[in-house]
Structure 1
Amino acid sequence: MKSTRIKATSTGPNRTLASPDTRSDQGLQQTRSIAHGNSGLSLVRLPVLALSLALAGCSVGDTVAPDDGADHQTGLTRSGLLDPVFTDHMVIQRAQPVAVWGKAEPGSILQVVLGDDSQDVTTGADGHWQADFPPHAAGERLTLEVMTAAGTRQRVDDILVGDVWLCSGQSNMEFEVARALNPGNEIAGPHSPAIRLLTVAHESRVTPQSDHANPNNWQIASPQSVGDFSAVCYFFARELQNRLDVPMGLIDASWGGSQIEAWISAEGLATIGSFDTPLSALALYGTDPVAATARFGESWEAWWQSAAGTTPWSDSAVRAEPGRVAPDRMGDWRSWGEADMAYHLGMVWFTRQTELSAGQAAQDAWIDLGGIDEVDASWVNGAFVGATFGWGSRRSYELPEGSLRAGTNTIAVNVLNSWGAGGMIGPDDAVRLRFADGTETPLSGGWRYEPVPASLGSPPRAPWESVGGLTGMYNGMIAPLEQTRLAGMIWYQGESNTGRADAYEGLLTTLLADWRRQFGADMPALIVQLANFGDLADQPVESGWARVRDAQRRVAESDPRAGLVVTIDIGDRLDIHPPNKQEVGRRAARTALHLLHDADGTAWGARPRSARASGERIVIRLADIEGGVRAISTDQPGGFETCTASGCAFAPARLVADRIILSPAESGETVTHIRYCWADAPLCPLYDHAGLPVGPFELAVSSD
């Protein structure tokens, strides 16, 4: 790729866009209980921006703040006329119409001034207002001010015009600069003051929101702000700004462990057709959470009955009477000293009995189960009382009337854990029954447990759950961005969907269409392909990770406004959060330059075009090759498989120019498809001369 610098123009980019949960190491916001609620990109680092960036002082209302480049809206009185997304230091998208919106008293007349443009607007019956302004050129610095007839005003200063990117996904997108390679130097800088950062706080909601519940302010990139920001997002912008003479506005809306379904609107999921029942339950939860909880309990019980053939809370189901005695002190089951629990992932039943008097049983009561990691479904005397997701968050459920009885009461808790620590982790004094008269009955100790065979699969998840539910993150984090104009989006997600990989292609296609309805029909999308993680394979295996990677490739191949970022060689098979986010950012920038600005070179490396049977051989053709393809550390490229109706087998391969020649073993069966680098953590030896790997793929085989 040439190292010439791409200049910004007035036209700019077109507007249009059972696996481990990947959690942040920090404590993540939990949801309410359902009972209640060397890419080869040859870049030369050049001075960024041909514009003055001596930062101006900022003011809000009549308050003037010091000129120190910090964010001066935090802690100051705000009139609330503007939507919270409009703050000092923000970036608005160049070469696209600018929408400004907010709320005021219904029927109010407001004057909205953006730079040299001004217009009057009248608020609607709901108090909402919007002003639309013509496009602005990259590099402009603007002030935004809104005033009422009564003199109330709100002012936003130091607005830059450039490219705005939305970065979203799960923990590998949320992964901070402070945890990436060489964090000390990366945080210390230098940083371009023309890169601006906005982090959207975690929020999962049942219905679309117009505002973020806990809005953050835009920040100038600095040693104080960069460390906690998304590493992929920041390194991408830094690399891109080396080539584009424009400011960069970065919006990070990501949540560790989240599945893709949580990021798609209800309208988007409805187009798929298989979500009608959970979407109906979700709608009910918005108006009657008690009824919705009961309905979910029925669906959970029906799933268990179908999978195990027993009633969930019965002794025969949990096999915990007599069962196995859990340690008296509540804690992570990995710490129990039991060989089969040290690395257990999946479900475990916990049961306990407690004696109550008639007076206790007659009262309103609540059950506190302490911290649970990570999903529980809980019953008292056969009555479903609730379920919650959370990495160690405490559970508390109000018990349905009549669920307690005088004498022996049985409590059953199913705990699902997919990664790391698991179980009922206490503390002991937080596990109890509480009664309306203020008395308590402790429930710590005395528990029995039994692991559930993995063959039973995974239970349903409540649709209003955060990371494992439907639409919640879209509603709480994406919908409030409303008509924010974007240069494009970067999507880094999929680890939490590897257990349901066959559905991922349709879901990702739906997400792109869904977000483009909000942000523009031609919005570019960069898709970061899953990195290598997991076990090494010495025989062909089925792999949800490989299946998701191929789905990501197929979506990018079929979408003219999408590009792929291949990371199969820069992961860590022992760490689901590989720290080399700098290279991810460089490769994403390369893909963006090709997708948006017709840069030289290939977008994301050589890619497969066809696989054709020719006599006793199969010929695979590659395309978009920069400088030819080569095998690294071998003279015969490995990692290829030929697959028949009986299964897949490794096949010897030869590299001839832009073709791979496979010689399948004679089996008498027809080879229906071929695979390359098909495993959780494959070793992929093929690279182009730009240093980009040939990513994993599966292709159907056609005949001569």
Structure 2
Amino acid sequence: MLKLAGIFRDGMVLQRDRICAVFGKEDQAPEVSLILEGKKYRSDVKDGQFLIRIDPHAACTGLSMTIRGSEDIEIRDVCFGDVFYLGGQSNMELPVSRTLDVSEEEVKNSDYPYIRQYRVTPQYNMAEDEVAELPDNPWVPAVPGKIGELSATGFYCARRIYDKKKIPIGLVLGAQGGSTVESWMDVSLLSEFGNYEDLMNPFMEKDALPRYLKARDEGIAAWRSALEEPDEDKYISAIPEGASDFTVPGMLLKKDGTDHTGIVWFYKEFELLEEPGEEAFLYLGDLIDADQTFINGKAVGRTEYRYPPRKYPFDGSILRKGKNLISVRLILETGEGGFVAEHPYYLRTENEKISLTGEWKMVKGVHSDTSVPVFKMGQEVPTSLFKTSVRPLKDFTFSGIWWYQGEANSDAPSRYGEKFRAMIQFWRDLYQQNLPVIVVEMCDYTDPVTGEQPAGWASIQEQQREAENDVKDCAVVSAKDLGAPLELHPQRKSELGARMAEVAEKMFY
């Protein structure tokens, strides 16, 4: 059977003006050939693998290629342009759809069919003999209905490059929220920076990490399930007797003696002066940690973790002229949480906009004697993302790397810059390409629970600024001033993209 690596599919973007490779598996035919614009390329099959190199091609769109082995595969709508690897964590991963508070008009008017993104979703397995494969994910174009899926940082930079150069842009998104720089490094590099074996050894057997991640999901689900009450409906439709006052925005904190690990219910009564109409929208800013939200007893939204803004469009027929009630079931996983300041809190109908800041009511529900179980995420395990999201692309051709990471290393910032330098050099050696790198300096940030900047944050920023002095062909673009103090994922990614595009034009063009 002939099987192409997952990145080679309809709509793909290959690097212009350089030799490119197409690779995959074949277990029946002795050779595989590729036909592009009438020219034939071929490769012998060795140990079930093949790799075909094709000649440099100028930027273009709308090509087709045929790969022939034990069967024929046709790939349509192929582009040649500039392809960039997007590495890092959640601020690189953050989709365009999460930036609409500040960039809605820009996105609404955007239609870029030749900016396309391929997502490398990691298939975690740390066993030494396990070879990760590229997933069968689509190339998503930056067009209406799809553009919201693209990396915001990637798209806003690519859009400006395309506007000037009219060259197709491919974005290969490997970034994973919460990933550490160590997860992006080959195991051979880690011993120089400390003993990471204790962190890796539990996962080195076949399927050990997938089993661990399954146990993680089951453990968290069991902890949350224990918080459920059989008669929980009594909290949804009316404010219980004895409810206490609460001010939104506001937090329940240990230092104030108001913390509560488990369920807390929050209530807001509001009045509509007119009939609501068919469509309505609720914006509950940023909540810590997970919420289920109801209006007049009907569910309107649910978010399972703390960071996404709570934007809940809903059917306006739930509302009524006169008094209405919002009920929020909030899970506090570690005892502290609530409604984060400096975020929007409002309800909008077709005729009215109601502010939801100010006086609310609160009732503490089920209490847990323990915090949510603590597990590592796959992207926190040293070398995990290198194995799953970097090494499988070693024969793919790129123009450069865009990197936005560091938040997950702020609790242990020592030698971050050295690790980054070693990581980039290893990638360049692996890819046999001296890939230029754009590094984003993190935005300033204050933790809404502690009220302080994380201890190592400034140190990471300083080491990021030094990257262009420490790493050859590296430029640093600052996002330091682009976030609100309590916003870990700033929405001003379009401004960041403009800064990156200005640097990219000098580096790549």
Please indicate the TM-score interval, normalised by the length of the shorter structure.
0.5 to 0.7
Deviations 1:51-91 (A, max 9, x none): xxxxxxxxxxxxxxxxxxxxxxxxxxxx7532111111111
Alpha-carbon distance in 1 for matches of 2:335, 2:44: 51
- The one of 109, 121, 126 equivalent to 1:206 is 126
Q: What amino acid maps onto 2:40 in structure 1?
A: S
Alpha-carbon distance in 1 for matches of 2:380, 2:155: 27
Superposed, 1:189-588 pairs within 5 Å as: 189-207=109-127, 209-212=131-134, 214-283=135-204, 285-286=205-206, 448-449=369-370, 465-534=377-446, 543-588=455-500
Q: What amino acid maps onto 2:159 in structure 1?
A: R
Q: What amino acid maps onto 2:145 in structure 1?
A: Q
By how many angstroms is 1:337 displaced? 9.0
Match of 1:177 in 2: 96
Q: How many residue pairs were aligned?
A: 382
CA RMSD of aligned residues (A): 3.9
Unaligned runs of 5+ in 1: 1-78, 294-325, 346-372, 375-389, 393-414, 422-444, 452-458, 598-704
Does residue 116 (structure 1) correspond to residue 28 (structure 2)? The answer is: no
Q: What amino acid maps onto 1:121 in structure 2?
A: S
Change (3 A) 1:542 1:188: closer
Contact kept? 2:16, 2:81, Cα under 8 Å: yes
User: 3-state DSSP class of the match of 2:160?
Assistant: helix
Q: Which 4+ stretches in 1 moved above 4 angstroms?
A: 287-293, 326-331, 334-345, 415-421, 459-462, 540-543
Contact kept? 1:198, 1:216, Cα under 8 Å: yes
- The one of 46, 55, 63 equivalent to 1:142 is 63
By how many angstroms is 1:224 displaced? 1.7
Alpha-carbon distance in 2 for matches of 1:289, 1:200: 18
TM-score, reference length from structure 2: 0.66
Using the TM superposition, name which of 137-146 and 223-232 deviates more: 137-146
Change (3 A) 1:267 1:282: farther
By how many angstroms is 1:450 displaced? 8.9
Change (3 A) 1:227 1:554: same
Alpha-carbon distance in 1 for matches of 2:228, 2:207: 40
Change (3 A) 1:474 1:116: same
User: 3-state DSSP class of the match of 2:22?
Assistant: strand
Does residue 131 (structure 1) correspond to residue 131 (structure 2)? The answer is: no
Change (3 A) 1:153 1:566: same
Alpha-carbon distance in 1 for matches of 2:406, 2:503: 19
Alpha-carbon distance in 2 for matches of 1:542, 1:176: 25
Match of 1:87 in 2: 9
User: 3-state DSSP class of the match of 1:501?
Assistant: coil
Alpha-carbon distance in 2 for matches of 1:110, 1:169: 35
By how many angstroms is 1:275 displaced? 2.3
User: 3-state DSSP class of the match of 2:157?
Assistant: helix
Alpha-carbon distance in 2 for matches of 1:227, 1:447: 38
Q: What amino acid maps onto 1:260 in structure 2?
A: V
- The one of 160, 167, 171 equivalent to 2:79 is 160
Alpha-carbon distance in 2 for matches of 1:590, 1:90: 25
Change (3 A) 1:135 1:290: closer
Deviations 1:542-589 (A, max 9, x none): 941110011111122222211101122111111111110001101111
What is the identity percentage for the equivalent residue pairs of Structure 1 and Structure 2?
A: 25
Contact kept? 2:259, 2:335, Cα under 8 Å: no
Change (3 A) 1:153 1:134: same
User: 3-state DSSP class of the match of 1:476?
Assistant: helix
User: 3-state DSSP class of the match of 2:164?
Assistant: coil
Change (3 A) 1:552 1:337: closer
Q: What amino acid maps onto 1:187 in structure 2?
A: V
Change (3 A) 1:252 1:417: farther
Change (3 A) 1:327 1:585: closer
Match of 1:43 in 2: none
Match of 2:322 in 1: none
Deviations 1:110-143 (A, max 9, x none): 2222333312322122x11111122112236532
Q: What amino acid maps onto 1:167 in structure 2?
A: L
Contact kept? 1:491, 1:525, Cα under 8 Å: yes
More helix by share: 2
By how many angstroms is 1:186 displaced? 3.4
Contact kept? 1:205, 1:473, Cα under 8 Å: no
Q: What amino acid maps onto 1:201 in structure 2?
A: T
Deviations 1:181-238 (A, max 9, x none): 44543333332222122222254331463413x4211133201211121110000101
Q: What amino acid maps onto 1:164 in structure 2?
A: V
Contact kept? 1:107, 1:122, Cα under 8 Å: no
Alpha-carbon distance in 1 for matches of 2:207, 2:21: 32
Change (3 A) 1:555 1:106: farther
- The one of 26, 32, 39 equivalent to 1:104 is 26
Contact kept? 1:269, 1:510, Cα under 8 Å: no
Alpha-carbon distance in 2 for matches of 1:475, 1:342: 44
Alpha-carbon distance in 2 for matches of 1:166, 1:259: 17
Deviations 1:468-515 (A, max 9, x none): 211222222233323111111111111111111123112211221232
Deviations 1:365-385 (A, max 9, x none): xxxxxxxx89xxxxxxxxxxx
User: 3-state DSSP class of the match of 2:107?
Assistant: helix
Alpha-carbon distance in 2 for matches of 1:419, 1:259: 25
Return the index of the structure with the highest Cα Rg: 1
Unaligned runs of 5+ in 2: 214-225, 233-249, 262-288, 291-303, 307-331, 339-365
User: 3-state DSSP class of the match of 1:246?
Assistant: coil
Contact kept? 2:140, 2:150, Cα under 8 Å: no
